[in-house]
Amino acid sequence: MCGLVGYISAFNSGVFSADVDKFKQMLWIDTLRGDDATGVCFVKNDQSATVYKEAHEAQYFLLDKDLKKEFSEATKTTKALLGHNRKATVGGASDKNAHPFTYEDRYVFFHNGTLHNHKVFGDTDVDSEALGQHVTACEGDLEKLGEVFGKAQGAWALVWYDSVKHKIYLTRNSQRPLSIIKLKNGDIAYSSEAWIAIGPIQRNSGVVEETIPLKEGKLYTIDLIPFKPTITEEDIPVKKPISIPTKLPHGDVKTIGQISKKAAAAVVKQYEQQGYLSFTVDDYHCPVLNGDPYEAYDYFVSGFNEHEKGVMVYGKLQDKFEYEMAQLVGTRMFGYFEDAEYSNGVLKVWVKYVSEMESKLLC
């Protein structure tokens, strides 16, 4: 678990000294969400950005002499302060692995959460670094972001800054929180948990006008060019489950029986409540025709649960070799419920984040 915090001034002259105090206190409190490393980005009035990060918790990180000087000059030069407290999950606790990550001398990227398949995006030690390479390259394009998030398996709340467009982007999925706090004077703050920002704001005489919990699957854009920053909310296109043929190429589909519509509705309700379900892999299918057996591809799997007759389960595994898929037939897996469809006595269930049962036991 990591933490995201930020403070954006409504005035182009720079943040006020009270704003700097608010941000420092937010960063300090946010160590409750991560104390392995701390990072800060100073977004300047001229659209440039300066980054400081170290593998120290905030109270020691803030003692750095160069950082203190940067904070003192922020009242003249800085439009926004963006911060991160890291709890190391993927990749060790080091200065290099601390957030934020920068790309192309243009983007500054922060991530709260953990990906289970980050090697799909890049061969990096830290999952966040690989994800950020692809997210920032979308340049805020909603369709492209939908494609990236369609490949990601895991949890995320993201903040990134584009110095060319002078915009800050925020988004999250269902597994990580993030809130925007609007102040009466036009300033904007954000934090993983709203109270982490609200406390320091009120302590330093700020007046909260509105708290906005971010909705999952939305892109929130804070445009820093206007005199007072503006916030827009847009839908990131949702990847609909792909129908998988009932007859898969390996020809050993089990007889699963029938289920009534009423019983199917009860099963769906149960899955929605518990969030995940397990199933036995029955067959698999790769949409790439004549694929190279020595390359890894995405595979669709079908399965069943012997305790629930008339239910077929479908999901997707990413970056698998053919021999790995053959070994998975007959094994138990689990996935998180995504959607369901009832037809002709059969309930088809789609799951996401498919993993082997051993992975679940480690969660």
Question: Which residue stretches of the chain are H helix?
Answer: 17-29, 58-61, 65-77, 127-137, 142-151, 194-203, 261-274, 322-328, 357-362
**Beta bridge partners of residue 277, listed in sequence order:** 335
Can you give the pTM of this predicted structure?
Answer: 0.70
How far is Cα 75 from Cα 16, in angstroms, rounded to an integer?
A: 5
Residue 362: predicted pLDDT: 35
129 to each of 133, 216, 296, how far by Cα in Å?
A: 6, 21, 22
The one-letter code for the residue type at 293 is: P
Q: Quick one: which of 156, 219, 153 has its CA closest to 192?
A: 156
Q: Please report where in the chains the tokens 């089990």 appear, as a residue.
A: 254
Look up residue 28 and give its two tokens: 């300090």
Per-residue pLDDT of the chain (363 residues; tens, 9 = 90+): 799 999 999 988 889 999 999 999 999 999 999 999 999 999 999 999 999 999 999 999 999 999 999 999 999 999 999 999 999 988 889 999 999 999 999 999 999 999 888 888 998 999 999 999 999 999 999 999 999 998 888 899 999 999 999 999 999 998 899 999 999 999 999 999 999 999 999 999 999 999 999 999 999 999 999 989 999 999 999 765 444 444 444 444 454 678 999 999 999 999 988 888 999 998 888 876 566 666 778 888 998 887 888 999 999 888 888 878 888 888 889 899 999 999 888 899 999 888 876 443 333
The letter for the amino acid at 149 is: F
